[in-house]
């Protein structure tokens, strides 16, 4: 934890996009639950703020929560998380592909925040796995896949390769095996091809689904089957034509080109 002493330092931390920033509006005062707010450093609200109100930087969520509970009080009583970014000290929505490195970064932070000891590129029988994690939830071996500039075709190939790689590493009956991938437009299309498949359940495969706002969902094979079954080709009976900003280019059929839209990856039309 460190105190942010200048607006220049605040802007630098926001541009770097790592860690969290606490807006200490009222200290231990009665207004804490409404105005003492924990943000991701990359949050747009941080860009609009200044150090006239005291601010503190934390490198990760665990560090922030421990300090806040000790020095300000309980969450919801003396401070809260930002309603926009949810204090997710991760990668924020972006216009480009959600690459394997981005997915891996979000996953590793998620696991560390939950007390796991994480290693990368671990050699096991059958080859290497991208991420190995050990903690209260057991031992996890996780293959990570993401997007590149190849669009849907590459997403499909990456997903299939990931399944093949993690299956070939399934040699320890006491370990949990999982695939991590981003929940993007192209990967949703890939998942629809597995509707009705019994493969994930037969393999007892687990999944870490990475959202573009940094949220991570864990699914076992049964939950993933349900998720796939609920995926719809369109939102409702007909494509949703407009985002919340009424950007006419947000037609899912053609893909949002984010014309005059400052939200870029936050556009709701493709979710």
Residue pair 184/212 in contact by the 8 Å Cβ criterion: yes
pLDDT in tens, 177-235: 999 999 988 999 999 999 989 999 999 999 999 987 788 999 999 999 989 988 754 44
With b for 16 or more beta-carbon neighbours within 10 A and e for fewer, the 73-109 pattern comes to eebeebbbbbeebebbbbbbeeeebbbbebbbbbbbb
> Rounded to an integer, what distance in angstroms lies between the CA atom of residue 140 and that of residue 103?
16
CATH of domain 100-230: 3.40.1350.10
pLDDT in tens, 157-166: 999 999 999 9
Residue pair 91/52 in contact by the 8 Å Cβ criterion: no
The residue extents of the domains of the chain are 2-81, 100-230, 236-271
Residue pair 55/174 in contact by the 8 Å Cβ criterion: no
Full-model pTM: 0.56
Residue 95 has a pLDDT of 57
pLDDT in tens, 61-93: 889 999 999 999 988 888 998 877 778 755 444
Residue 47 has a pLDDT of 86
């Amino acid at each position: 934890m460190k105190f942010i002493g200048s607006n220049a330092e605040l802007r630098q931390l926001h541009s770097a996009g790592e860690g969290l920033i606490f807006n200490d509006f009222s200290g231990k005062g009665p207004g804490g639950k409404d105005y003492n707010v924990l943000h991701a450093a990359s949050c747009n609200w941080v860009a609009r703020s200044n150090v006239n109100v005291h601010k503190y930087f934390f490198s990760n969520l665990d560090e922030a929560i421990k300090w806040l509970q000790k020095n300000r009080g309980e969450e919801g009583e003396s401070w809260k998380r930002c309603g926009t970014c949810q204090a997710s000290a991760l990668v924020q929505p972006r216009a480009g592909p959600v690459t394997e490195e981005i997915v891996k970064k979000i996953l590793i932070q998620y696991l560390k925040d939950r007390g796991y000891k994480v290693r990368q590129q671990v050699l096991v029988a059958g080859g290497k796995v991208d991420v190995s994690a050990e903690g209260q939830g057991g031992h996890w071996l996780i293959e990570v896949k993401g997007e590149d500039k190849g669009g849907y075709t590459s997403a499909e190939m990456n997903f299939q390769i990931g399944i093949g790689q993690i299956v070939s590493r399934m040699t320890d009956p006491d370990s949990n095996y999982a695939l991590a991938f981003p929940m993007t437009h192209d990967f949703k299309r890939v998942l629809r091809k597995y509707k009705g498949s019994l493969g994930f359940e037969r393999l007892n495969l687990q999944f870490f689904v990475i959202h573009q706002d940094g949220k991570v969902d864990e699914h076992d094979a049964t939950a993933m089957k349900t998720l796939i079954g609920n995926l719809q080709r369109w939102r409702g009976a007909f494509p949703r034509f407009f985002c919340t900003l009424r950007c006419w280019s947000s037609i899912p059929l053609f893909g949002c080109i984010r014309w005059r839209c400052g939200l870029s990856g936050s556009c709701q039309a493709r979710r």
